Chain A
Amino acid sequence: MSASYNMMEMMICAAARILQDGKTVAVGTGAPCAAAMLAQKTHAPNLVIAFEAGGLAPRLRKMPISVGDSRTFFQANCAAGMAEMMTTCARGMVDYAFLGGAQIDKYGNLNSTSVGDYNKPKVRFPGSGGANDFASLCWRTMIMTMHNRSRFVEKVEFLTSPGYLDGAGAREEAGLPPNTGPYKIITDLAILGFDPESKAMRVESVHPGVTLETVRENTGFELLEAPEITQTSPPQTDALEVLRREVDPEGYIIKRA
C-alpha cells in the first residue's frame, strides 16, 4: 500500500530502505538523520548511528539540530570524542556515510565550500566539516540532494569531499582507502549509482511520475544508464506514518518539500 506523499518524504523513505539492519551509518543533521532514524524505527532496529562529534549509538528520541548537540548521545552506548569517531571510520568500521552538498559532478565529487574565486568567493558555503573525512574513510557514501542543473554539474568548482575524483582508480592513486567511494545518490527525481568500470554516474531508478528524459534535462552532464532502469518504490503507508509521527512530528524536514 502507498499513500500520498511529498518529495522529501519520498527521498527519506528511499534512503532509509537502503540502510540494512546491523550496519553502521555516519550521519549529519537534516534529511540523512531522518532517514537513519526511520530505518531504525522500521526495518533496521540494530542500525548503529554515529555522529562525528562523538555520539555513538544513541536512542534518537528527538531530531538533533547539530551533529554535536546532546540529542546525538541521548542514552547512547558511548559519548566519545571527534578523534575516536573519525579513527573508527579510518579503521574501516563504518559502513555508510550520508552527505549533501551544493554541487555534485559525474564522479560523485561534492562541493560544499565555495563558488567563484576562492579568495573572494561569489558564495561561501560552510566547507567540509567532517564530510571530507566521511567521504574518504567510510565504505559507502550516500548523497541526498535536490536534482537540477545548477547542482549536477560537469565539474565541481571546489572539490570539498571526494567521490571517484577523475574516474576509476583515482581514489586509490591519491592514497584514499581502496574500495571506498560514493554508492547511491537519492534525489527528488531518481536514484543514481555508479558504473562499476568507469565510476561515472548512472541512473538506476526513476521515481513514480518522473521520466528518464526529465532526469537528463535536470543533469548538467551526460548520464549513463544502469542495465535495467526500474521505478523507485513509493513510500509504504506504515513507513510514512512512522516518519510523520515519530521521526519528524514538527515537520522540520518533511515540510520543507
Chain B
Amino acid sequence: MSAKEAVERFIPDGSYLAIGGFGANRIPTAVLHEILRARRKDMAFLGHTSTHDFQLLCAGHCLDRVDAAYIVGLEARGLSANARRVVQSGEVELCEWTNHALSVRLSAAAAGLSYGLVRSMLGTDTFARSAAKVVTCPFTGKKYAALPALWPDVSVIHVHEADIFGNARIKGISIADLELARASKRLIITAERLVDNLAIRQDPDRTAIPYYLVDAVVHTPFGSYPGNMPYEYFSDEDHLREWLTAEKDPEEFARFLDKYIYQVADFNEYLQLCGGLDRLRELREMECLAD
C-alpha cells in the first residue's frame, strides 16, 4: 500500500493520531507528509518527545488537541517558531503529561485496563494540568498518580523490516512503540525494507510487532528522513536547520512548505529535492561513525 492510500483509508479528519519513534528518530515522515497533503483537520495527537513530527503537523494546522509531554522544541537544535505560534495562539488545546506517564497510559490500554499508575507527576502543575488523579494503594496506603488508559485511533510506526503481513522488526531502542502498537485501534507500519515471511519465521524472537496488530504496511526506504534511523542513516541536521530558519518568517515558511511538501508528488520526490542518494550516502556514513 502507498503512504497516500494508507492516509486515505485509515486517517480521517478528527482522528486521534500517535506517531512512533522519539524526537526526530525513527519517525514515519512519508505518512506525515501525506497527512499534510490530504489537508487533514481537527486531529488529536499524542506528543511524547515529539519534534519534527509535531513541527510538521503544526505546519499543516492539522491538530486541535494534544496530549503533550514535549512539544514545540527540537531538543538540542532549538525551538520551532511556527509550532510555538500555533500553540501560543490557543489553536491547540493542551493536556500535560510526562514521557513516562504517556508510555504507562499506553501500557494500560495494551493490557486491557482502564488506568495505569506512576510515582511521578505528583505535587506539580504538570499533574494539575493533566487528567491524572491521586489514588491510594489499597494494600499500603501509598499515594500514586492514576492515569487513564489511552487508545489512539491510529498510529504510524517506522521500522527497519517488515513482511507483507506486518510482522515487524525494530533495531535499537524501542522507546514506547511496543506499547503503542498494542494500544492503537489501527496501526500503519512503514518499513525501510520488506522481508519474506520465511525470514520472520526463521528468527521469530526478533518480531517486535506481530502481524495481528497491523492494518497496513508501507514500504518506505529512507522513510525516517530527515530524522535518524538507527544503524541506517543519521539525521539531516542541515535540512532541519533549514526548517527552523524558514519558520521564523511566516511568508517565507509558506513558500518553503510549498516547495518541500505541497508541490511534491510523493516522498521519493522529496528525497530527490533534499539531495537524493548523494546526501543519503553521506548520512549513512555519519550514522556508522565512519569518519
Contact = CB atoms under 8 A, between A and B. Distances in A.
Interface string A191-212: 0000000000000000000000
Interface in A153-195: 158-162, 165, 170-171, 173-177
B104 A83 contact: yes
A66 B96 contact: no
A80 B173 CA distance: 5
A68 B173 contact: yes
Contacts of A72: 173
Given A65-B75, A68-B49, A160-B126, A81 B175 contact: yes
A203 B76 CA distance: 29
Which of B75, B76, B99, B142 gathers most chain A CB within 10 Å? Answer: B99
B53 to A, nearest CB: 12
Contacts of A61: 289
B87 A124 contact: yes
A101 B23 CA distance: 19
Contacts, number: 205
Contacts of B138: none
B87 A175 contact: no
B287 interface: yes
A255 interface: no
Interface string A48-90: 0000111100000110111111101110000111110010001
A30 interface: yes
Interface string A128-152: 1111110011000000000000000
Contact of B175 (A53, A121, A170): A53
Interface in B88-116: 88-90, 94, 96-101, 103-104, 107
B197 interface: no
A62 to B, nearest CB: 6
Contacts of B68: 127
A252 interface: yes
A66 B22 contact: yes
Contact of B125 (A66, A158, A252): A158
B173 A175 contact: no
A132 B101 CA distance: 10
Given A53-B173, A70-B172, A137-B119, A29 B70 contact: no
A5 interface: no
B164 interface: no
Given A128-B96, A133-B120, A73 B70 contact: no
B69 A128 contact: yes
A159 B126 contact: yes
Interface residues of A, number: 60
B73 interface: yes
B29 interface: no
A69 B228 contact: yes
Given A66-B24, A175-B142, A130 B122 contact: no
A113 interface: yes
Which of B76, B97, B100 gathers most chain A CB within 10 Å? Answer: B100
Which of B121, B134, B173, B174 gathers most chain A CB within 10 Å? Answer: B173
Interface stretch (B36-44, B186-194, B230-238): B230-238
A132 B75 contact: no
A97 B242 CA distance: 32
A74 B173 CA distance: 11
A124 B88 contact: yes
Given A79-B173, A133-B98, A66 B70 contact: no
A81 B126 contact: no
B48 interface: yes
B142 A55 contact: no
Contact of A70 (B73, B174, B228): B228
A134 to B, nearest CB: 8
B175 A65 contact: no
Contact of A126 (B70, B104, B119): B70
Nearest to B287: A70
B206 to A, nearest CB: 13
Contacts of A29: 75-76
Contacts of A173: 123
A136 B22 CA distance: 22
Contacts of A68: 21-23, 25, 49, 173, 175
B48 A82 contact: yes
Nearest to B104: A83
Given A79-B174, A128-B70, A165-B124, 9 more contacts: A53-B49, A66-B51, A66-B76, A70-B234, A74-B289, A82-B48, A83-B104, A126-B70, A136-B119
